[in-house]
Amino acid sequence: MRSPIANPPAPEWAEGLPEEVVRAVRQEAIRRGVRAIEIVREWTIQAAQSLTSKSEKSA
C-alpha cells in the first residue's frame, strides 16, 4: 500500500521562494495546463522587463 506524500520536495525552481509564490505558480500552471517552470520563466521575464522599464524612466 502506497502512502501519499504530505509535503513533496520542492522542485529546483521553487528553491528560496516563499510558499505563497510556489503555491501561486502551481495553481496558475494547473489553470493554464502548462508546466510550472513555464510560469516561472514568464513571470521572471515580466519582472525583468518591469525593472528595466522603471530604471530607464528614472535615468
Structure confidence by residue, pLDDT tens digits, 4-50? 555 667 789 999 999 999 999 999 999 999 999 999 999 999 999 99
User: Dihedrals φ, ψ of 15, to 5°?
Assistant: -60, 125
pTM (whole model) above 0.75:
no
**Which pLDDT value is given to residue 54?**
78
User: Dihedrals φ, ψ of 25, to 5°?
Assistant: -65, -45
CA dihedral 18, 19, 21, 22 (to 10 degrees): 120
Give, in order, the Cα–Cα distances in Å from 33 to each of 14, 28, 39, 50: 18, 8, 10, 26
